[in-house]
Structure 1
Amino acid sequence: MKLVYLTSIDLDRAQGGCKNHVLGIVHGFQKLGWDVELISAAANPEAHLDLSVNHTKVLKKRASLPYQLLEQWRTWMLLRNRKSRPDTFYIRAGRSYVIPGLYAAWHKIPFFVEFNTLIEMEANHRWLVPIAVALENWLIRRSTGCFAVTPEIKNYLSQRAGVVSDLFTVVPNGCEQRVIQESRAFTVHHPRKNEPVIGFMGSFEPWQGVETIIRAMPFVLEKVPMARFYIAGRGKLESFYRDEVARLGIQHAVQFSGYIEPDQIQHFLHQCKVLTCPRVAAFDESGIMKHVGTSPIKMFTYLGSGSTVVTSNLASMAIFKPCQAVIFAEADNPEDYAEKLIYALLRTPEEFDTNAESARSFIESGYTWDALAEVTARDMLAKLESE
Structure 2
Amino acid sequence: MRILHVLDHSLPMHSGYTFRTRAILKAQGALGWQVRGVTGLRHTAQGPDVEQAEGLTFHRTRGTAGGPPLVREWREVALLADRIVDVAREWQPDVLHAHSPALDGLAAVQAGKRLGLPVVYEIRAFWEDAAVGNGTGREGSLKYNLTRALEDEVVRSAGHVVTICQGLKDDLVARGYTADRITLMPNGVDLALFGTPAAPDPTLRAELELGDGPVIGFIGSFYDYEGLDDLIAAMPLLLDLQPQARLLLVGGGPVAEALQAQAQACPAAHAIRFVGRVPHDQVERYYALADIMAYPRKHSRLTDLVTPLKPLEAMAQGKLVAASDVGGHRELMTHGETGTLFAPDDPAACATALAGLIDARAGWDSMRRAARTHVEQAHDWARNVQRYEAVYQSLLGPSGRRQHRAA
Amino acid at match of 1:43: T
Instruction: Report whether the alignment pairs 1:101 with 2:101.
Output: no
| 1:42-57 pair list within 5 angstroms | 42-46=43-47, 50-57=53-60
Matches within 5 A, 1:166-205: 166-179=180-193, 181-183=195-197, 186-187=198-199, 195-205=213-223
Contact 1:323/1:362 (8 A) holds in 2: no
Query: Residue 63 of structure 2 contacts residue 79 of structure 2 at CA under 8 Å; is this kept in 1?
Result: no
Asked if structure 2 preserves the Cα contact closer than 8 Å seen for 1:111 and 1:144, the reply is yes
Aligned residue in 2 for 1:255: 273
Mapped contact 1:304–1:360 kept (Cα < 8 A)? yes
Distance 1:291 1:324, change over 3 A: closer
2:389 corresponds to 1:374: no
Match of 1:285 in 2: none
**How far did residue 87 of structure 1 move?**
1.4
Which stretch shows the higher mean deviation, 298-307 or 262-271? 262-271
Secondary structure, counterpart of 1:4 in structure 2: strand
In structure 2, the partner of 1:29 is 28
Q: Specify whether residues 180 and 96 from structure 1 end up closer, same or farther in structure 2 by C-alpha distance, changes over 3 A only.
A: closer
**Aligned 1:314-353 pairs, distance under 5 A:** 314-319=326-331, 320-321=333-334, 324-348=337-361, 351-353=363-365
Structure-to-structure mapping, 1:202-217, within 5 angstroms: 202-217=220-235
Greater CA drift, 312-321 or 127-136 = 127-136
Distance 2:310 2:272 in 1: 20
8 Å contact from structure 2 (residues 2, 35) kept in 1: yes
Return the match for 1:150 from 165, 177, 193.
165
Contact 2:39/2:60, CA 8 A, preserved across alignment: yes
Partner of 2:5: 5
- TM-score w.r.t. the length of structure 2 is 0.83
Identity %: 19
Distance 2:82 2:100 in 1: 19
Deviation at 1:324, TM superposition (A): 2.4
Larger displacement relative to structure 2 (220-229 or 316-325)? 316-325
> What residue in structure 2 maps to residue 364 of structure 1?
376
The whole-number CA distance in structure 1 between the counterparts of 2:358 and 2:102 is: 41
Q: Match for 2:145: what amino acid? A: P
CA distance in 2: counterparts of 1:63 and 1:49, whole angstroms: 29
- 2-side partners of 1:346 and 1:293: how far apart? 32
| RCO comparison, higher one (Cα < 8 Å, 6+) | 1
Whether contact under 8 Å (1:40, 1:58) holds in the other structure is yes
Contact 2:38–2:84 under 8 Å retained in 1:
no
Output the CA distance in 2 between the equivalents of 1:279 and 1:263: 25
Q: Could you tell me which amino acid in structure 1 is paired with residue 222 of structure 2?
A: F
Contact 2:303 2:326 in 1 (8 A): no
- Structure-2 residue corresponding to 1:77: 82
Shift of 1:201: 1.0
TM-score (norm 1): 0.87
- Report how far residue 384 of structure 1 moved: 4.1
SS of 1:96's partner is helix
Residue of 254, 259, 276 corresponding to 1:241:
259
Q: Distance in 2 between matches of 1:83 and 1:222?
A: 65
| 1:385 aligned onto 2:397 | yes
Q: 1:335-354 CA deviation, whole Å, 9 max, x = no partner? A: 11111101122333x53333
Q: Is the CA contact (8 Å cut-off) linking 2:312 and 2:375 kept in structure 1? A: yes
Q: In structure 2, what is the equivalent of residue 355 of structure 1?
A: 367
In the aligned structure 2, how far is the partner of 1:345 from the partner of 1:378?
A: 44
Report the counterpart of residue 249 of structure 2 in structure 1. Answer: 231
1:307 counterpart = 2:315: no
RMSD over aligned Cα atoms: 2.9
Gaps of 5+ in 2: 132-136, 206-210, 401-407
* Aligned-partner Cα distance in 2 for 1:268–1:330: 26
Which residue is equivalent to 1:286?
none
Residue correspondences, number: 375
Name the structure 1 match of 2:208: none
Taking a change above 3 Å as real, the CA distance of residues 244 and 318 of structure 1, as seen in their structure-2 partners, is same
Kept in 2, the 8 Å contact 1:118–1:292? The answer is no
1:112 aligns with 2:120: yes
Listed as ranges, the gaps of 5+ residues in structure 1 are 283-288
